[in-house]
Amino acid sequence: MEHRKHREKEGQIYEQLKENASFKRVARSFEIYQKALQEEGADIEALKNRMHEVYQAKISTDTIKEKGKTRALEYTESNIPFFTYALTQAEQGTFTMEEFTKESIRMGVAETLLENWAPKIGKGEGGEIHINELMYYTEEKDGKVSVHINPSGVKSENLIPKVLEGFQMIAKSIKEGTLTSDTVSMTSWLLNKGFEPTVKMLFPKANLHFEELPDEERGVANIQNLALTFNGRSLNEFLKTGQRPPVRRLTLSADEFVGALAA
C-alpha cells in the first residue's frame, strides 16, 4: 500500500514537472549546451567553462539580501549533485528531458524545485511585493518604486499580458495612494532592444530612456544569471561568444506611469 502511494506521488510530481515552465526552460538550457558541444569546430573548453560558470553561481540568496527574491536556481547541498549530473550528461551527449525529469525525482530535489518556482503573491521574505508570477516590486527610501521582471515561470504567450497586468496593478495602487512613489524604475534583462517597441507601445507619450547597466553594478550578475538559466537565446549567445546578456533600466515619473496605465 505504502509503495503504491509512493509511486502515485512520484507520478504526480513527474506530471507537474513536465508542465512547469521553469523546469522545462532549465532542461532546455542543457539541451542547448549539449548541442553546442557537438557542433563542428566547437571550442569545448570554452563552452564547458562558460556553462559551469552559469551553474556554479548562487543566483537567489544574494538577491534576497537586496530586497528582491527571485525564483531562481539555488546551489544547495541537495541539488548540486543533480545539476552536476545534468552537466555530465550533456558533456557525454546523453542528456534527455525525460531522464532529467526522472533523475530530479530519484535524487529528491523535484519537490524543492517546484516549491521554489511556485508563484508567490504578496509580501516576500526580503520585503518585496510579488504582484503576479512574473513581477515584483520594492519600495526604496528615495521615493522610488523599483519593479523587477522575471519571466522564468511564464509561458511565452502569457508574457505581455502578465507584464501589462503587473504594470496596471502598480499604477492603480499609486493612483489610489496605497503606494507612494515619485518615480517608477524597471530593471530587467527583458528590457532589451527587441522588447523596446512593446514598452514604447505601453507608454506612447513618455520620453523613454533605457539605461544599460554595467556588469559590476550590484544585482546585475544575478539578473544575468537568470537570463542565462531560463532564456535559451541568451544562453546560446553566451556559450558561443562569452557575451553576458545586457541588463537595462527604465525610469519613469509616477505621473507618466500612472497616466499611461491607470484606468
Please report the pLDDT score of residue 116 as a whole number. Answer: 80
Kindly provide the b/e burial profile for residues 136-156, where b requires at least 16 CB atoms within 10 angstroms of the residue's own CB: bbbbeeeebbbbbbbbbbbee
pLDDT band at 234 (very low <50, low <70, confident <90, very high): very high
Is the distance from CB of 195 to CB of 155 less than 8 angstroms?
no
pLDDT band at 26 (very low <50, low <70, confident <90, very high): very high
d(CA 240, CA 228): 12
Q: Count Cβ atoms within 10 A of the Cβ of residue 193 and give its class: 0-12 exposed, 13-18 middle, 19 or more buried.
A: exposed
d(CA 93, CA 128): 41
User: Under 8 Å CB-to-CB from 113, ≥6 apart: which residues?
Assistant: 17, 22, 23, 79, 104
pLDDT band at 51 (very low <50, low <70, confident <90, very high): very high
Name the strands in the sheet holding 129-130, side by side, starting at the edge strand that comes first in the sequence.
Answer: 122-123, 129-130, 135-139, 144-149, 183-188, 248-253, 210-212
Please report the pLDDT score of residue 77 as a whole number. Answer: 46
To the nearest whole percent, how much of the chain has pLDDT over 70? Answer: 87
To the nearest whole percent, how much of the chain has pLDDT over 90? Answer: 42
Does residue 55 register a pLDDT over 70?
A: yes
Between 245 and 208, the more confident residue is 245
Which of 1-15, 83-97, 106-120 shows the lowest mean pLDDT across its residues?
A: 1-15
d(CA 82, CA 67): 28
